[in-house]
Amino acid sequence: MRQFEGWSPTALLVLLGAAATAAHAADDMVLRDLESKSPKKLSKPEATELLTGAKMSRVSGRGNVHHWSNDAGGSFVVSSDNRGAGAVGASGRPTTAPGKWQISDDGRYCVLIEWKGVPTEEWCRYILQTSDGYYAVRSDSVGTERVYKLEIKK
């Protein structure tokens, strides 16, 4: 913390506020925010090739970090750090849950996660490839549709 020695409490609050605003802004991105990043919706074959065997991570809407690997057979085990607000199971301790994934006929990445102690999570999203990575989105045609950043590594 020596890098902050000599900083006034007000300056530190401004710095923390700016960081929180930037993090919140990233969470609230919508489809039109990606226009400058040349988004390309992946086709079913492209999504299948990219996501089979991929190591995935995301930050949930509650701020929890999730990691999983898509097995070729359509299953995975997701881990959550449960550090975000409203943590799964409300324990704040890391947890794991079984999941299933598939690519739908229209090319959406579909996920089912059977969390312990909270409702099952089920969703399908198109995968958009951009100049700075990958995003998931429910609809690829509504500019105000929220996008979700995914880290995808092979």
What percent of the chain is modeled with pLDDT above 90?
Answer: 66
What are the residue ranges spanned by the domains of the chain?
Answer: 29-153
Say whether pLDDT at 83 is over 60: yes
What percent of the chain is modeled with pLDDT above 70?
Answer: 78
pLDDT tens, position by position, 93-130: 899 999 999 999 999 999 999 999 889 999 999 999 99
Taking the model in full, what pTM does it have? 0.78
CA 24 remoteness from chain centre: 14
Say whether pLDDT at 8 is over 80: no
Predicted pLDDT at 149? 97
pLDDT tens, position by position, 31-45: 999 999 999 999 999
- The residue among 85 and 31 whose pLDDT is bigger is 31
For the domain with range 29-153, which CATH number is right: 2.60.200, 3.30.1370, 1.10.760, 2.40.128?
2.40.128
